[in-house]
């Protein structure tokens, strides 16, 4: 037998032995720990799970991934298992299991094996791709700036919102508020990160910033291809333009990094990069870490505010009720405390997060053999054995639609439901546990601020798009068709 046959045969045998060995040791682990298996996803290819990979890629592409998983959970229960690209997967929307993965048994799970090392030419290790001590260190770099109430007086946001208001038509013409809000939060976010605003709302947007943003847009598409290919196969992605875009990004970031390092005592305390430069003097580390934060600046807050306006434009009573609450503030200064005291505002934002969560799911890999408390056996009440190397998909979108907790009207956008709800692990728009969003307070305060400013200035809202919300997950869960409305000045 030639080498050409012997090698693939040996590889196949090794693979089969691995499958057999892990199936035996899983059965052993299950028996020892009194566990039962969760239901299985019906698959044409239950060994390699290539069918699942194709379905997943398709559903991501056409925006049906959230629906696909909800339907699966409805059929199979809150926790079930499957295989994708040779890796065992557990899919869960069970709040106890989610709490276990994200908090109670945090150290048994990681995301570095899933995300680390992918696209390293573009961006190295940082908060979004690391586990353990490096992750702790990364959070310590940014936490003081996010925790400090230095955004409480909204000084810079106020300036950007003033400019943003000038772009809103006051003659009853229809406009799309979604891209405008993206520009608003891009301007605010870049000023907060680098000390220099993208000025995308103003005519004098800096050339270098524009180049950076265009390069970033292209580079992110390449990065998502690389994430799909994984650490080993990413070499197949050899796009010259992608490498050029990476260099443009590095030049831009390095200029800000070296400036932050030179500033020493002249640093601006409200600029995140300047504050990070107090802790590390390593330019490459600073470049990577600030880039990890920039991933989130570009999209998140604008998406939740757009979604709030999508819902308000279709619920005139909620608009009137919220406006009455906003007008109670009178001419008082908008501080974080004032905004947080507004109950209906909180309900409106929460209800929007519930039904349109910005992050629909997250994945972790088990780093050792461990257990999940629920999901096994015929009633899904027994613990599950989780062998090392299992990928867990925590599904926040399905969690927020759990009829057992939210009632039968889960599909309905109804802020009043929050009157008697005080969820803990049943509602996780910012995740939970040691990896909870570092910017939660900043994001909520800024979203509240912009909503209130708009509602002070406009007395009515009308939707100019009768189509239902058409989900895309590209910028968090947002509407493919934008948010087309008319606002009537007060």
- Distance in Å, CB of 437 to ligand HEM, minimum: 3
- Nearest approach, Cβ of 136 to ligand HEM (angstroms)? 9
Site string for ligand HEM, 352-391 (x = CB under 6 A): ------xx--x-----------------------------
Contact segment (CB under 6 A) with ligand HEM among 3-11, 115-123, 289-297, 399-407 equals 289-297
Stretch that binds ligand HEM, among 50-58, 210-218, 257-265, 435-443 (CB under 6 A): 435-443
Q: Does position 139 bind ligand HEM by CB under 6 A?
A: yes
| 438 near ligand HEM, judged by CB under 6 A | yes
Sign of the Cα torsion 415, 408, 304, 165 reads: negative
Of 114, 213, 293, 477, the one binding ligand HEM (CB under 6 A) is 293
CB 219 within 8 A of CB 122: yes
- In angstroms, give the least distance from the CB of 30 to ligand HEM: 28
Structure tokens at 368: 């050792």
- 35 or 348: CB nearest ligand HEM: 348
Return the number of the residue (30 or 304) whose C-beta is nearest ligand HEM: 304
Q: Could you give the CA distance from residue 224 to residue 295 in angstroms, rounded to a whole number?
A: 12
Nearer to ligand HEM, 376 or 432 (CB): 432
CB 64 within 8 A of CB 55: no
How far is residue 473's CA from residue 471's CA, in Å, rounded to a whole number?
Answer: 7
Q: With binding defined as CB under 6 A, does residue 487 bind ligand HEM?
A: no
* DSSP-assigned letters across all residues of 69-90: HHHHHHHH-SEEEEEETTEEEE
Q: How far is the CB of 301 from ligand HEM (least distance, A)?
A: 5
Instruction: Considering only residues 33 through 92, tell me which ones interact with ligand HEM, judged by CB under 6 A.
Output: none
For the CA atoms of 427, 428, 434, 436, the dihedral, rounded to the nearest 10 degrees, stands at -140
Q: Which of 443, 454, 483, 487 binds ligand HEM (CB under 6 A)?
A: 443
Contact 312, 321 (CB under 8 A): no
Residue from 437, 461, 477, 483 touching ligand HEM (CB under 6 A): that is 437
Q: Nearer Cβ to ligand HEM, position 219 or 359?
A: 359
198 conformational bin, left if phi > 0, alpha if psi -120 to 50, beta if neither: alpha
**Residue 461 near residue 312, CB atoms below 8 Å:** yes
Of 297 and 322, CB closest to ligand HEM: 297
For residue 107, the minimal CB distance to ligand HEM (Å) is 14
Which of 81, 89, 100, 128 touches ligand HEM (CB under 6 A)?
128
Q: With binding defined as CB under 6 A, does residue 297 bind ligand HEM?
A: yes
**Nearest residue (CB) to ligand HEM, 180 versus 443:** 443
438 within 8 A of 143, measured Cβ to Cβ: yes
392 sits in which H/E element: strand 391-395
Q: Which is nearer to ligand HEM, 276 or 443 (CB)?
A: 443
* Nearer CB in complex with ligand HEM: 293/485: 293
Whole-angstrom Cα distance, residue 159 to residue 375?
51
Nearer to ligand HEM, 26 or 95 (CB): 95
8 A C-beta contact, residue 456 and residue 326: yes
Nearer to ligand HEM by C-beta: 30 or 290?
A: 290
CB of 131 to ligand HEM, least distance (A): 9
Q: Residue 92's beta-bridge partner residues?
A: 79, 394
Is 200 a residue that touches ligand HEM (CB under 6 A)?
A: no
Residue 129 binds ligand HEM (CB under 6 A): no
Q: Which residue in 55, 115, 58 sits closest to 91, CA to CA?
A: 55
- The first and second tokens of residue 431, run together, are 């995740």
Using an 8 Å Cβ cutoff, are 134 and 261 in contact? no
* Among the listed residues 223, 251, 254, the one whose alpha carbon sits nearest the alpha carbon of residue 239: 223
CB of 187 to ligand HEM, least distance (A): 13
Cα 105 to Cα 99: distance, rounded to the nearest angstrom: 8
What Rg value do the Cα atoms of the chain yield, rounded? 24
| Nearer Cβ to ligand HEM (131/465) | 131
Is the distance from CB of 162 to CB of 453 less than 8 angstroms? no
* Closest among 314, 282, 35 to 134, alpha carbons compared: 282
Task: Decide if residue 93 touches ligand HEM (CB under 6 A).
Answer: no
Positions touching ligand HEM (CB under 6 A) are 127-128, 139, 293, 296-297, 300-301, 304, 358-359, 362, 429-431, 435, 437-439, 443
């Amino acid at each position: 037998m030639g080498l050409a046959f012997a090698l693939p045969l040996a590889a196949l045998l090794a693979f089969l032995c691995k499958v057999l060995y892990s199936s035996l040791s899983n059965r052993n682990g299950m028996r020892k720990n009194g566990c039962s298996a969760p239901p299985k996803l019906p698959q044409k290819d239950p060994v390699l799970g290539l069918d699942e990979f194709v379905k997943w890629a398709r559903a991501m592409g056409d925006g049906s991934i959230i629906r696909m998983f909800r339907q699966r959970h409805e059929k199979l229960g809150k926790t079930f298992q499957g295989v994708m690209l040779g890796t065992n997967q557990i899919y869960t929307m069970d709040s106890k299991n989610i709490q276990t993965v994200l908090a109670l048994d945090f150290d048994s799970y990681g995301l570095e094996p899933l995300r680390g090392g992918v696209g390293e030419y573009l961006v190295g290790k940082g908060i979004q791709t690391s586990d353990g001590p490096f992750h702790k260190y990364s959070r310590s770099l940014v936490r003081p700036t996010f925790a400090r109430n230095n955004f409480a007086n909204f000084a810079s946001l106020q300036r950007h919102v003033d400019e943003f208001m000038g772009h809103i038509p006051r003659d009853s013409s229809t406009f799309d508020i979604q891209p405008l809000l993206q520009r608003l939060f891009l301007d605010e976010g870049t000023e907060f990160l680098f000390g220099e605003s993208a000025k995308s709302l103003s005519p004098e947007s800096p050339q270098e910033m524009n180049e950076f943003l265009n390069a970033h847009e292209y580079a992110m598409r390449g990065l998502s291809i690389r994430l799909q290919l994984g650490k080993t196969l990413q070499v197949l992605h050899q796009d010259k333009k992608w490498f050029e875009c990476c260099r443009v990004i590095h030049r831009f970031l390095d200029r800000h990094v070296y400036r932050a390092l030179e500033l020493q005592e002249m640093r601006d305390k409200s600029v995140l990069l300047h504050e990070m430069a107090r802790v590390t003097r390593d330019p490459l580390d600073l470049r990577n870490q600030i880039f990890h934060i920039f991933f989130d600046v570009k999209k998140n807050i604008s998406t939740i505010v757009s979604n709030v306006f999508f819902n308000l434009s279709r619920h005139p009573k909620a608009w009137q009720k919220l406006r009455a609450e906003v007008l109670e503030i009178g001419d008082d200064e908008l501080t974080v405390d004032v905004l947080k005291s507004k109950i209906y505002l909180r309900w409106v934002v929460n209800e929007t997060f519930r039904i349109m969560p910005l992050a629909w799911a997250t994945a972790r890999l088990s780093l050792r053999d461990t257990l999940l408390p629920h999901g096994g056996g015929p009633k899904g009440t027994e613990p599950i054995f989780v062998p090392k190397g299992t990928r867990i998909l925590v599904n926040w979108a399905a969690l927020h639609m759990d009829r057992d907790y939210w009632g039968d009207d889960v599909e309905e956008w109804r802020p009043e439901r929050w009157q008697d709800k005080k969820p803990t692990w049943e509602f996780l728009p910012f995740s939970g546990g040691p990896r909870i969003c570092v910017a939660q307070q900043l994001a909520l305060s800024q979203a509240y601020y912009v909503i209130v400013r708009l509602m002070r200035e406009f007395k009515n809202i009308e939707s100019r798009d009768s189509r239902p919300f058409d989900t895309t997950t590209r910028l968090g869960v947002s509407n493919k068709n934008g948010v087309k409305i008319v606002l009537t000045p007060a």
